[in-house]
Each structure stands twice: as structure tokens, then as C-alpha cells.
Amino acid sequence: MVVEYVIASNDLMRRLLPAGGDEYTYPRPLRTLLRQGISRESGGLFFGSHLRANRHLLSPSDIVGSEALINSFHIEDFVSAKLGVGSDAWARQCVGLAVQFGRDVLEMAANAFPQPIRIAITLDQGTQLFPGDEEGSVPSCTLRFWGIRPGVPEYFAEPSAYDTEPFLLLSRVES
């Protein structure tokens, strides 16, 4: 059996994808999140600590939406601001760390559950017009995952449909 990690991304994300062989060291909170694993609850798959902290967001009538919301976090919280938040170096570091972490989450889920999952990574490089601009957005990189279910629409559509920010979907495929 061969395992591949398939990346579907839009043009804005392709320029930020890490070169092959790049390795990132996980900060303690990400190592802890991986160590805690994924659990099944109300038909959904969740990071256990995220579900405990956000149980009020769980909606059994929209399990895919609940998964994508609860299993979401900002990867930039784990990337050095010394790179210049919002710079291309910062963006590449965020995306590289998110892709590597995403692959590990896909592997962990595949070893624990028969249900496949999909991971989305989005990047907002910020639209602040001046320091302290509260109408603009702060640079951020978000990783989220949800389970794939036959007959249930995906949380996100095809990445090429997103033309305002870098976007990718990460999947694990066995052949």
C-alpha cells in the first residue's frame, strides 16, 4: 500500500507551499495536541481538548460544520513573529508548519478511524490600512479539519473557487 498526501490549492497558495524536505519542529502545544489525539463524539471526529473547551459549539444536526468549527485553530500562534508577521517568510513558515501538522493529523486519524478526514489551510496576510486599524484583518493562518461522509457536502468547495486568499485542501489517499 502506498500513502500519498494530496494537496489541492489555488494559485495564491502554490507560491507559499514548502519545498520538499522542509522539516518543522513542533512547539509544545502542537506536540500536546497530537499526543492527545482525536476522539469520536456524536458521530464526529474532534481534537479532544478542542471539544472539551468548545462543547457548546457541537451541533449534532450539522456535524460537519461542528467539526470544522471546533477543529480549527490559528497556526500563527506557533510561528515566530521575528519573521515579520504578514511577510512572505512568515507566510511560508505558517503554511509549511500547517501542512506538516496536517499530514500528521491525517495519519493519526487514519490509524484510529475508518472515516477519512479533510484538512483545510487558509492564509490571510492581513488588510490593515494602518497600525491599529480595527476594520482590517490581522494576518492569520487557519488549519481546520472535518470528516468526509458519503452524501454529505464538504465543508469547503474546490480551492480554485477561492481567489481572495491562499487556500488548500489536504487529503490522505491509499493506493
- Predicted TM-score (pTM) of this structure: 0.85
- Cell representation of residue 162: 477561492
Closest Cα partner for 138 from 160, 119, 159, 123? Answer: 123
Least confident of 30-34, 52-56, 63-67, 131-135: 131-135
**Which pLDDT score, from 0 to 100, does residue 150 have?**
86
Q: Domain segments of the chain: what residues?
A: 3-174
| pLDDT 10s digits, 61-101 | 899 999 999 999 998 887 766 666 767 777 888 888 899 99
Angle subtended at Cα 165 by Cα 53 and Cα 85, rounded to the nearest 5 degrees: 70
Distance between CA atoms of residues 145 and 148, nearest Å: 10
| pLDDT 10s digits, 25-38 | 888 888 898 999 99
Closest Cα partner for 121 from 137, 107, 134, 105? Answer: 105
